[in-house]
Amino acid sequence: MELSYLIIIVLLFSVIQSIFGVGLLLFGTPTLLIIGYSYSETLWILLPCSVVISLIQTIDNFDLVQSKKKVVYFTIPTMVFSLAFVVSFDNILDINKIVGFFLLFIGILKFSTRIQKYLLYFAEKKLSLYYTFIGFVHGISNMGGGPLSILMSTIYRDKVKIRTNIAFIYLILALFQLIVLFILDASGLKYSSIALILTSLCIYLIVSKYIANKVNDEKYISLINVLIVVYGILSIVKQ
């Protein structure tokens, strides 16, 4: 695909991530997989951009980040293991269907308050295990942002605190993902990543300054949830 199309994809989903804290990986991953990129190529395209946005969001409000050690201890091991497994057996696994399954799972979670209550009850009793689950989901599908956003929006009520804590965990996960990719499959690392990183950086700076604080989250959350389900279905039926 031409670089210009990749820039458009990164631009669009960077806007969503700059406002809601998730989006670049949640929607960018299935988009690139549906187009025909491998899982490794998809991660090499999206992760550097995600790191830039998450790093700025974290630095701006680092004092709001909670459970730093617990996040590292419990999300990273399962993320590294599951990512290494998927990358190693990418030619055997149907990654589109795996991503589609987890997208549908996230979509059901978003629409079902009953399931959310059960999940959050589990998180309250077994938070370490919940973080472990997030790491596994993120490694195998890059979809850890779904259960992560549900957890953070329950623990915190302030939008900035929610976004900052999501960004911190995203940042830690992405950095370790890049390390795993560099060891197992560095072929996807391209100079074009610089243009994509600059695109995501510019979009974040513009959106966070002029748009993000003016957006009513409740007004758009249903649309985001519908998109999650649609992407999940498209990823599963894609041949």
Structure confidence by residue, pLDDT tens digits, 146-201: 788 777 777 777 777 877 888 888 889 999 999 999 999 887 778 778 899 999 99
pLDDT tens digits, residue range 57-78? 888 788 888 767 777 888 999 9
pLDDT attached to residue 239: 55
Residues 171 and 165 sit within 8 Å (Cβ to Cβ): no
Q: The tokens of 237 are what?
A: 């039926």
pLDDT attached to residue 212: 65
CA–CA separation, 219 and 175 (whole Å)? 32
pLDDT attached to residue 161: 81
Residues 27 and 142 sit within 8 Å (Cβ to Cβ): no
pLDDT attached to residue 85: 92
Q: Which residues of 149-166 are buried (b: 16+ CB within 10 A; e: fewer)?
A: bbbbbebbeebebbbbbb
Statement: residue 26 has pLDDT above 80: yes
Segment 6-12 shows an average pLDDT of 91
Bin 215: left if φ > 0, else alpha if -120 < ψ < 50, else beta: beta
| 16-25, 41-50, 101-110: which is most confident | 41-50
Segment 32-49 shows an average pLDDT of 91
pLDDT tens digits, residue range 97-131? 888 888 888 888 777 777 777 777 777 778 888 88
